[in-house]
Amino acid sequence: MTTLPKDMKYEDALAKIEDIVSELEQKEVSIDELIKRVDFAKQLVDFCQDKLTKTEKEIEKIIEEK
Amino acid sequence: MSAQAPKIYTLTNLTRSLENHMDQTFGSKTFWVKAELSKVMVSSGRRYIELVDSEKENVTAKIQAIIWGNTYTAIKAKSGKVIDSIIQPGNKVLISVKIQYDKLYGLKLLIVDLDLSYSFGDVEQLKKETILKLKQEALFDNQKSIYLPTIAKRIGLISSKGTSGYKDFVTELSSNKYYTNFSIKEFDCKVQGKAAIPELIKAIHSANTYDLDVIVILRGGGSKIDLNIFNDYKLCQAICESKLPVMTGIGHETDDVVADLVARKNLITPTAVAKTLYLSIATFNANLINSYTALKVASDNQLRNKKEEFKRHKKDIYINSTSILNETSQNLVSLKHNITARLNSIQRVHSTKLDVNYEKIKLLSRDLIKQQQLDLNSKLKLIDILNPERLLKTGYSITSVDNTKITTLDNLVGKELKTETDKGTIYSHITKIKNNTR
């Protein structure tokens, strides 16, 4: 299982997700690689969702403080 | 020849004879004579006078003269008080005289009349000469350029102490209701007759050594002849050259004297000088008070206006600032909403993007797997279709020559043909080959 780097950026994660989608669309992924790709894509999506949620909460907090 | 003894007369005989001769010669004849009065003595209404004539300051003639009391009264009745001023030492006169010789009192001229115009003409001549000379020496207007202070409190008073002019001036200055706080430095001197001239000049020079605001020269009043000393060149020169401003209060009824013309300011009486001095200060004080009052009113008004203006501004500032604050607050709320909305939008976009991508991944993965499964199935079917056993079971057979798949019909005649079926293998001998016509 591939693990995400600690300093992963949201935009990089999104770009990788889009790369995976593109690979899948082009059917360039072998069945052997498919599980690895989907698993990696799930991690990336979770990372991005988490980042979005956290960012939203932070901004809400900042706005409410004012 | 024996000398004759001289005839001897008594003095009485001689003087009587002389008296008779003079009486016969001159009698009651009168003569108009120009002369200068060198001495004048008054006694019991009579004027005893010494007449002189001179050329280049050398006396060329001298004789005693007399004006009888009744004659003097008659002349005075005709010409006025001015006669008192004319019959003074130093004055030049045109007189009508009788020549009289008295055996007891000697030779005398009896003055019977006097031509005023001659004496006045002398005054006018002196005035003209003095003015001309001062103008030629560029002194005439000197005083006009000297500053006369509005508040002239320190006064150098040149006058004859105790005269009416002096008293009028001092009384007016000290007892008026407007301003009396003057400081007077007195220079007591004569103001009458030729002897007054050097005293006046000395007083002017002396006054210039003091810290004064103005010099005041006073003379109570007098006739044209009396005031003639104020036409004197040296006196007027001293006035012109004074560093301090000079005011004159020389009482006269007709023409100005030269001292008046050259002074910084001239008034017609000593009282008028005093009035001018205190009214100038009083006017200044009044103006000062008026200005102060006006200033106070103006400043009060301005202050009130400014206060009202300030109140208005304060109110405006409050209203405007409240308005601005409200507006800004509303803007902030609106901005916050916008940010939130924008944030939500971004969030939605990103979430959607993520969802879409993830859905795509899921879908594509499944598709990929399905596709693989389909491929596998079709391959399986193909394998199944292609299985020879399955073909044999459906009635098909497999033919070969020398265990080799027949790829050509050439050279097969005579060879053994092997036919495999579901039930068994058939061996047959090739005798004839017929090619397909297609």
For residue B252, give the 3-state DSSP assignment: coil
The pLDDT value given to residue B1: 46
Distance CA B216, CA B263 (A): 10
CB contact under 8 A, A38 and B371: no
- Does the pLDDT value for residue B281 go beyond 90? yes
CB contact under 8 A, B357 and A29: no
Spans of all domains in chain B: 11-114, 124-283, 390-429
Which of B336, B350, B361 is opposite residue A21, by nearest beta carbon? B361
Express as a percent the part of chain A with pLDDT over 90: 2
Q: For A26, which residue in chain B has the nearest alpha carbon?
A: B364
Residue B146 — very low, low, confident or very high, per pLDDT cuts 50/70/90? very high
| Parent domain of A46 | 10-65
CB contact under 8 A, B369 and A31: yes
Residue B361 — very low, low, confident or very high, per pLDDT cuts 50/70/90? confident
CB contact under 8 A, A63 and B340: yes
* CB of A13 less than 8 A from some CB of B: no
Which of B347, B369, B371 is opposite residue A56, by nearest beta carbon? B347
* CB of A24 less than 8 A from some CB of B: yes
Distance CA B239, CA B245 (A): 9
Contact list in B for residue A64 (CB cut-off 8 A) is none
B116 CB contacts (<8 Å, ≥6 apart)?
B79, B82, B83, B86
The pLDDT value given to residue B48: 95
Residues of B with CB under 8 A from a CB of A: 332, 336, 339-340, 343, 347, 350-351, 353-354, 357-358, 360-362, 364-365, 368-369, 371-372
* CB of A1 less than 8 A from some CB of B: no
- Calculate how close chain B gets to A36, using CA atoms only, in Å: 11
Residue A45, domain member (yes or no):
yes
Under 8 Å between Cβ of A38 and B361: yes
- Calculate how close chain A gets to B365, using CA atoms only, in Å: 7
Contact list in A for residue B350 (CB cut-off 8 A) is 14, 48, 52
> DSSP character for B105?
T
State the complex-level ipTM.
Answer: 0.73
| Number of folded domains that form chain A | 1
Q: Which CATH number fits domain B124-283: 3.40.50.300, 1.10.238.10, 3.40.50.10550, 3.60.15.10?
A: 3.40.50.10550
Average pLDDT of chain A, as a whole number: 83
CB contact under 8 A, B357 and A21: yes
The side-by-side arrangement of strands in the sheet containing B425-429 is B404-405, B398-401, B416-420, B425-429
CB contact under 8 A, B351 and A52: yes
Residue A57, domain member (yes or no):
yes
Give the range with max mean pLDDT: B123-127, B246-250, B418-422: B246-250
Distance CA B304, CA B307 (A): 5
CA Rg value for chain A: 15
Report DSSP letters for B314-327, one per residue.
Answer: HHHHHHHHHHHHHH
DSSP strands (E only) in B209-341: 214-219, 246-250, 265-267
Once rounded to an integer, what is the mean pLDDT over residues A12-27? 85
Residue with tokens 């301003």: B179
The pLDDT value given to residue A61: 82
DSSP strands (E only) in B115-208: 154-159, 183-188
Residue A3, domain member (yes or no):
no
For B91-125, the pLDDT digits (tens) are 888 999 999 998 888 899 999 999 887 877 777 88
For residue B384, give the 3-state DSSP assignment: helix
B169 CB contacts (<8 Å, ≥6 apart)?
B157, B159, B216, B218, B249, B270, B271, B273, B274
Q: For A19, which residue in chain B has the nearest alpha carbon?
A: B357
Distance CA B222, CA B165 (A): 11
The pLDDT value given to residue B43: 92
Q: For B359, which residue in chain A has the nearest alpha carbon?
A: A21
- Does the pLDDT value for residue B299 go beyond 80? yes
How far, CA to CA in Å, does B50 sit from each of B34, B96, B228, B247?
A: 13, 15, 21, 37
Query: Exposed, middle or buried, B352 (CB in 10 Å: 0-12/13-18/19+)?
Result: exposed
Residue B386 — very low, low, confident or very high, per pLDDT cuts 50/70/90? low
Residue A22, domain member (yes or no):
yes
For B5-40, the pLDDT digits (tens) are 888 989 999 998 998 999 899 988 999 999 988 899
Q: Which CATH number fits domain B11-114: 3.40.50.720, 1.10.540.10, 2.60.40.10, 2.40.50.140?
A: 2.40.50.140
